[in-house]
Amino acid sequence: MTKLLFVTGAVVLAASICPPVGRAVAQGADKVMPPAMVGHMRGYVFTRFMFARPATDLATDCPQGLAMSLRDSFIAQLPPEDRPKAEQIKGFGPVGSMMLATDHPENGLKFEERKEPPANLSVAEREALFKDYIRHRRDPGRHTICNNPADYKGVGYRTIDHTGTGSGLNLDGTTDGHATATTCEHKKFTGADGTPGIDDQFWRVAGCIAVYRSGGLDWDSSIRTGDWAVLMELSTPKDGGPDGDVDVNFYSSKDSLTLDAAGKVPAGLSLEYIDDPQLIAKTHGRIERGVLTTEPVDFTYKYDNQIVHERWAFEGARFRLQIEPDGGLKGQMGAYADAEKFYNYTVKPQTIDGANSNNIDCPGFYAALHTLADGHRDPKTGVCSAISVAFDLQAIPAFIIHPQKTADAGTRVP
Amino acid sequence: MTITRRQVLRGTAGGLAASVALPLLDCMLNANGTALASGAPMPLRFGTWFWGCGINPGRWNPKATGADYEITPELKPIERVRAHITVLSKFDVLLDGKPNFVHSSGNLGIRTGQAPAQADQSELPTIDVLISDAVGGATRFRSLELTASGNPRHSYSRRSTSVINPAEGSPVAFYTRLFGPDFKDPNAADFKPDPAIMLRRSVLSSVSDDRARLAATVGAADRARLDEYFTSVRQLEQQLELQLQKPPPAEACVIPKKPGEGPVGQDIEVSTANHKVLAGLLAMALACNQTKVFNMVFSDSASSLTKAGTDKTHHTLTHEELADPQLDYQPQATWFGARSLDAWADFVSILAAVKEGDGTLLDNCLVLAHSDTSFAKTHDVLGIPIMLAGRAGGRIKTGIHVAGNGEPVSRVGLTLQQIMGLPIDRWGMGAMQTAKPVGEILT
Amino acid sequence: MSRLLASCRVLTAFGLALSLSGCGPREPDTSGQAPVVQRLTEKQYRQVIADVFGDDIRVVGRFEPVVRKEGLIEVGTNAATVTPAGFEQFDTMARNIVSQLFAPDRRDRTVACKPAAASAPDDACAGQVLAKYGRLLFRRPLSSDELKARVAVAHQAATSSGSFYDGLQFALATELEMPEFLFRIDTAEADPDHPGKMRLDAYSKASRLSFLLWNAAPDDQLLSAAEKGDLNSERGLRQQVDRLLASPRLEAGIRGFFTDMLAFDGFENLAKDGMIYPAFNATVAADAQEQTLRTIVDLLVVRQGDYRDLFTTRRIFMDRVLGPIYYVPVAPKHGWVPYEFAESDPRAGLLSEISFTSLYAHPGQSSPTLRGKAVREIFLCQKVPAPPANVNFAVAQDTSNPDYKTARARLTAHRTNPTCAGCHRIMDPIGLALENFDGIGAFRMQENGAPIDASGELDGAHFANAKDLGKAIHDNPAAASCLVDTLSKYAGGQASVKGDREWMQWLNGRFVAERYRVPALLRTLALSNGFYAIAEPGKRTGLSTAALRPEDQR
């Protein structure tokens, strides 16, 4: 009896305290995104295009812990007697100067010495000096530990070593990663669903760095601020059904994405692609039971994020995309990237300051990229110069507009 | 003893006490602190406050009358300002055989003293217009109309069907109109008539040059409209005239900070927030004697208030929502009603927070709050909830509940006009014509 | 009558496929319309300022809303006045406009003459400027008394301020605040062709014509034609009418009319729930209106098409803002591009355009009732009775009932309960045909997982979907006669009177004979006697005989 009263009371209480929400309108079933057809091609824009992150725990991936920061690993390699003094030096500027001073005395800096501006400078002169200093530090030509990582030795750089859970695609066709004509011997991962033979050497390189494991560096947030986007066109399967052979084209978007009031990219945007052959990749694929897989293709796209403006080039890129019930795509790209260039895309633009704040050890990262490289095998030397990378992708339908001949309106679509 | 304003202000840096609230010195008041030393009584202000789609009568109407009435579930929002409010229940809009035009008959019935013969049409002016015609002439604005909804059409201050005083929905625009370049601080140290204003005023009078000739060339109905236009011109001339005179000091007048730009609309949170800002600005406008008559619409008569993420407006809910079998009322629709009365309590609090004389600004106000229906689902115009706020300078009792028991609501309108000093002994038309004020609220 | 037939023969001889106006049944007499006093709308005010002073002059201020009458703002302006708050704004606007006109870099463009001294009044120069602008602003020349009064203001202000230009600036500002500018006031004169009767004077005719065809004040050429007496001759009137119709400015007139008829001012305060319809925003609202107006102008003016095709046309205009909502590709990054829906596309006609479906819907859901009511009242001129106050909701729908997923299901009670059905079966079946378009006009096949059934019936014509509804409206004779009725109300600023029924039938007949082409209808209207006929004194309103203008006031 008491129990019953309690329950009734709770109902009444709840109704009076909690403002009723009204009937929240059902999303989902009503919100299917139809294909965005231009001619006989379906268009998509990738709203997510970032390094694949398997849902694994740190202890398994990095038993020694997260990667040391540039600062810490640098101090670790100093003579013991210099270490306490070095520990005192905090702040990015002084740390950067510290590393420059001890390794390259020709920079004119001694350990702990910072070039302080003379006291009698005006505010404007100080500002100009400071701007100059910053410009120098960002100068890719200046010799620094992150601009020239090959000149430095990494100390105990931590990589992921196991053959357990990882994320990505099988690029070399082997299950155990043995050397082939085009690839080098390397360890493989197993997918979370049990799929063997996953290649993602880049994850081994970067997976113990905090910002690569979670949140932190959001490599593709600049898609949603309109800086860049990758576009894809899919032909309808030749037999007419949902399954079959298809043509697949990739482009870089010329137009910025816009967001709706909910902060999402809406389906059905019209986006023109950049008419540059280097940024256009065409390949074939097959859709089977709602999954699209493509043949390998060399694929370059334009990437813009704050000060980084690069064309990221991949070889032998394979795509595996699931067609979702709501009409979008979800899946992965697995591809090989030149190790040297990849360092330049990812870490080098960050400079010492960025690397430090993100706990990235430049020489270690760089060296690992080369050591763990598994693709583009040199037939003569047997050395691999490209590294396998996996990306997580999501796409929604978008109308791909072919480059317009004239600037003004009036041309028919497509 | 007399102390001049100049003496008080000499000590202030720069001379202009624009952002300093000057204390009301006892010597500026008469012995009782109830009027200015010059003998002029504290200005008495009249206002209306409106919300759409009413209440649930069974949960709103108190049973006890007088000062000890019980706070019913739907009077809960006003409990915090109970002392300032007079609750008037069960006064009816009598349709007098005319159809009940949804969301129109109740509202116009209360405001014009007659149920309209056609939806949304009345050639009678609303009560605030009658009052502002009588008392509004000496201030910068004859009246001020505001809406928390952002839509200038949400105004029930009307001279006739087609002549509606547009409502201000943007806090920034309202601020600029009140406290922008044309504002004359009543508490400013020195005053010099601005020659530019003098010129504007004399030039403006030429606009009405042709009044007589025009009147002769148009028909009667058009003449009335042109008359209203010329009255509006005269009102602006009046404003300019006032700007050429040193305004009487307004002790409670403090120039507020300019509000920031923000969204306007009928999402309940947006309306609630804008309502507070507008009420604050209005309170200062009243304290600075910019007007004596005001009208605030919180939500329109078929309340279009919405809650983000839900698909029905307040109004739609009043019709489509089923009553909860255990609660015996429509939870979501009632929620909006509670939020509306919450906003009314906000309004009363904001006016009560401004000190004026020996009391507050609210003490010198008479505010009529009402809705367009009692039970919105059936558009019932009997027992439309009515509340008064403010002591009207001591002329009315607050903190009590008066039950009308089916009396025509025009008795309330009559009483209010009489309190405001209009020389009328009856008001309302047809079945709502009455000569009996609501004595229980008079002191 | 013989003159009519002669012109018919002449036209036929030249094989002109154009308007055969003048041929056909003779125009019936009307009882005339009451002279109007119409306040300028915001659009008209802005247009006048742009026309008289230039596109670059900014109009900064708020226009108080006009209450619709007879479903039109234009008729509402004939009952509107200026409230104190409204006049405050007009005063602010006027002072702002003249201060731009008298800015140092612009002053010499505004004032063509040079005063004798810059620090003193100069009545001659001031008079020149005030007369020139006064004529365009008042839409007729100032009388000598009026001009004297304006010059006196300039003189006094120049003396007080010690500046000729300041004085003139103040006087020009008053012209922008006077009722002769803010209101279109019909003036009548004795009709020399019909002794004892009155007619509109030439300037009132010019005004009426110009606002109908261009939604603007008469330009210099039209005013000159009025001055010369041309508008009182058939030939002279025809010349001006044809000039106005041939001008690109006709588009503004068409836009003005349809913006009013479709009640697009409702967009000013239209809000959609950002969580339910994240795609909707102010830019979408603005472009939706523009899209519909472009569709209308393209069909009616550019292609000289059949008005009824507005309900079936597959040709529309698109831009990148609207592309995602319609879910169609749009090639150019900026601007508008013509688009044609495929035969198989569910969209065709005005009712499937976002401007209509989003305006007549709730913030968080569509509304078959609102849409149905709008179709009845706007496109078929059929009044829907007001809802009864004491509806019995005991039979009301249960919105949380899982069976009632679609609007059709939820509105079952509307159709089945006798009290409700009377009115709702006039509206709901129409609106239910549009249920494939959600609250912002985006297409959907289902609601809450249940498929949408868009079939219905309009006055006996059955249809399966929105496109068929469009056809049903196209074929419904009320559609065409409603347009004629609405246009003539718009043109005259008032409802037609029972006595004009014959004339309305005649005008309808002309519209049909002209194959429902709107520019032709405008021409017929603009050349008709009925358009200019005013009621005799005492017949409609109290038009006093004191409206005579003494000759020397010209």
Cα dihedral sign, B210-B213-B218-B223: positive
Residue-wise pLDDT tens digits, C485-527: 999 999 999 998 777 899 999 999 999 999 999 999 999 999 9
- Phi, psi of B127, rounded to the nearest 5 degrees: -60, -35
Quote the CA–CA distance of B412 and B438 in Å, as a whole number.
6
The 3-class secondary structure across C125-188, one letter per residue, is: HHHHHHHHHHHHHHCCCCCHHHHHHHHHHHHHHHHHHCCHHHHHHHHHHHHCCCHHHHEEECCE
- Lowest-pLDDT range of B302-311, B373-382, C355-364, C407-416: C407-416
C26 and C503 in contact (C-beta within 8 Å)? no
- Report the alpha-carbon distance of residue B298 to residue B336 in Å, rounded: 12
Phi and psi for B427 in degrees, rounded to 5?
-155, 160
> For B232-271, what is each residue's pLDDT tens digit?
999 999 999 988 888 888 888 999 999 999 999 999 999 9
**ipTM of the prediction:** 0.89
Percentage of chain C with pLDDT > 90?
75
Q: Do C325 and A268 touch (CB under 8 A)?
A: yes
CA distances from B83 to A114, B91, B350, B388, C164 (A): 71, 21, 14, 11, 61
For residue A296, the surrounding DSSP H or E stretch is none
Question: Which amino acid belongs to residue B130?
Answer: L
**How far from chain centre, in Å, is Cα C194?**
32
CA distances in angstroms from B269 to B150, B377, B430, listed in the order given:
13, 24, 41
Numbered residues of chain A with Cβ closer than 8 Å to any chain C Cβ: 23, 25-26, 29-30, 34, 36, 38, 43, 255, 260-262, 264, 266-270, 272, 399-401, 404, 408-414
Tokens of B165: 């005083």
**Gap between the terminal Cα atoms of chain B:** 32
CA dihedral sign, ordered C324, C326, C331, C335: negative
Rounded CA-CA distance B404/B89 in Å is 6
Any chains having at least 3 CB pairs less than 8 A from chain B are: A, C
Beta bridge partners of A355: none
Indicate which of C272, C281, C337, C398 best probes the interface with A, i.e. most A CBs within 10 Å of its own CB. Answer: C337
Q: Which residues of B309-346 are buried (b: 16+ CB within 10 A; e: fewer)?
A: bbbbbbbbbbbbbeebeeeebbbbbbbbbbbbbbbbbb
CB contact under 8 A, B228 and C171: no
Q: Which residues contact B103 (CB under 8 A, 6 or more apart)?
A: B52, B53, B301, B302, B315, B372, B373, B379
> What is the helix (H) or strand (E) element at residue C340, kind and residue range?
strand C337-340
Enumerate the domain spans of chain B: 5-191+246-441
Nearest C-alpha neighbor of C207 from the set C136, C159, C273: C136
Helices (H), A254-318: none
Any chain A CB within 8 A of the CB of C162?
no
The CB density around residue B259, as the number of other CB atoms within 10 Å, is 16
- Mapped onto helix, strand or coil, the DSSP state of residue A253 is strand
- State the burial class of residue C257 (Cβ atoms within 10 Å of its Cβ: 0-12, 13-18, 19+): buried
- pLDDT tens per residue across all 414 residues of chain A: 333 333 333 333 333 322 222 344 433 345 789 999 999 999 999 999 999 999 899 999 999 999 888 888 778 877 888 888 888 877 767 777 777 666 665 555 556 555 666 778 888 888 887 777 667 666 767 777 888 888 877 778 899 999 999 999 999 999 999 999 999 999 999 999 999 999 999 999 999 998 888 765 577 888 988 899 999 999 999 877 889 999 999 999 999 999 998 889 999 999 999 999 999 999 999 999 999 999 999 999 999 887 778 899 999 999 999 999 999 999 999 999 999 999 998 888 887 778 888 888 888 999 999 999 999 999 999 999 999 999 999 999 999 999 987 554 444 444
Predicted pLDDT at B276: 98
Task: Note the Cα A183 to chain centre separation in Å.
Answer: 23
pLDDT digits (tens, 9 = 90+) for B138-149: 899 999 999 999
Among the partner-chain residues B311, B326, B335, the one whose CB lies closest to the CB of A19 is: B335
Closest CB to B199 among C82, C86, C157 = C157
CB contact under 8 A, B232 and C86: yes
Q: Verify whether the Cβ–Cβ distance C278 to A262 is below 8 Å.
A: yes
- How far apart, in whole angstroms, are the C-alpha atoms of residue A220 and residue A218? 6
Backbone angles phi, psi at C126, to 5 degrees: -60, -45
State the CB neighbour count (10 A cutoff) for residue A37.
Answer: 16
Q: What is the DSSP string of B156-179?
A: --EEETTEEPPPB--HHHHHHHHH
Residue B86: predicted pLDDT: 97
Q: Which of A23, A266, A400 sits opposite C399 (nearest CB)?
A: A23
CATH fold of B5-191+246-441, please?
Alkaline Phosphatase, subunit A (3.40.720)
The pLDDT, as a whole number, for residue C31 is 84
For residue C531, the distance in angstroms to the closest alpha carbon of chain B comes to 19
Chains within contact range of chain A (3+ C-beta pairs < 8 Å):
B, C
Confidence of residue C379 (pLDDT cuts 50, 70, 90): very high
* Cα C408 from Cα C411, distance rounded (Å): 5
Q: What is the pLDDT of residue A150?
A: 87
Dig out the tokens for C407 from the structure: 């609007």
**Strand pairing partners for B146?**
B168, B296
Cis peptide before B73 (omega within 30 of 0): no
Confidence of residue B436 (pLDDT cuts 50, 70, 90): very high
Q: Which of A30, A268, A272 sits opposite C324 (nearest CB)?
A: A268
Q: Which residues of B touch A15 (CB under 8 A)?
A: 324, 327, 331
> Domain spans of chain C?
39-184, 258-475
pLDDT of residue A216: 59
Residue from A4, A16, A17 whose CB has the most chain B CBs within 10 Å, to mutate:
A16
The confidence score (pLDDT) of residue A81 equals 85
Alpha-carbon distance of B210 to C177, in angstroms, equals: 12
Give pLDDT tens digits for C528-540: 999 999 986 554 4
How is chain B split among helix, strand and coil, in percent rounded to 5? Answer: 40, 15, 45
What lies within 8 Å, CB to CB, of C31 at 6+ separation is: C497, C499, C500, C533, C535, C539, C540
Contact flag A409-C325 (C-beta cutoff 8 Å): no
The SS3 of residue C479 is helix
3-state secondary structure of B6: helix
Distance from CA of B147 to the nearest CA of C (A): 13
Chains near C, with 3+ CB pairs < 8 A? A, B
pLDDT for C178-200, tens place per residue?
Answer: 999 999 999 999 999 888 889 99
Interface contact flag, C329 A262, Cβ < 8 Å:
no
Q: Do A22 and B326 touch (CB under 8 A)?
A: no
